[in-house]
Amino acid sequence: MERGPSASTTCHIRGPDRPAATLDKQITTQRHRSRAADQGRDTVGAWVRPFRAALKAWQTVHTPAVMALDEQLGALLIEAIHPGTPLVVSSTYPPAQHIAELLSILHASGVPDSSYPTVEQRVGNLFDSSAKLYQRHPQLITLIPPEIYERGRRLATGLAQHDGPIVLLHGDLTPGNILDGGAERGLVAIDPAPCLGDPAFDAVDLMM
């Protein structure tokens, strides 16, 4: 499905923990914290480029249009989605068929370019990032002993290495990253962490 013209000129800035500011009378901004917010501008720029590339690769109304990019700021300007209610706070959950359609469209329209990281790398990054919580909150050791955490890492890595069809994954398709796009657009996926791997990876957070 080809992307049609946006029905609204309201846009959001996607970038690393920067103050919201009005760009003009018709454009508003929304603050988001980048996954690389505290790692310097080079890292931020390197992170936001594949983010933009993936959104541009998905030629569908089920992802937002990219309006502009500032690599130095690590800020991405994307169109606003209306009504834009995230599934995580919605009073109703969409039928499984609608979720399946969103997954199918994303995986069919994206190009699995080798410049994207693999899902195995994505899983490794997730576990590395979450491991830092032990330093910030030492009490977690009693709740989830490190040996249990590392066992989970090994199992997840094994699943990520499973041979199967390779597609361009959204990589972070949680209920917080799927918006209600209204009757015309349906579900809209935002804030990807694009990577290459088994299509089933994108369904995990939505089906459990």
DSSP string, 180-191: E-HHHH-EEE-S
pLDDT in tens, 75-111: 889 999 999 999 999 998 899 999 999 999 999 999 9
* Cβ–Cβ under 8 Å, residues 85 and 180: yes
Please tell me the pTM assigned to this model: 0.79
For residue 14, pLDDT over 60 is answered with no
The residues that bridge with 70 in the sheet, in sequence order, are 75
Task: List the chain domain ranges.
Answer: 119-160
pLDDT in tens, 102-144: 999 999 999 999 999 999 999 999 999 999 999 999 999 999 9
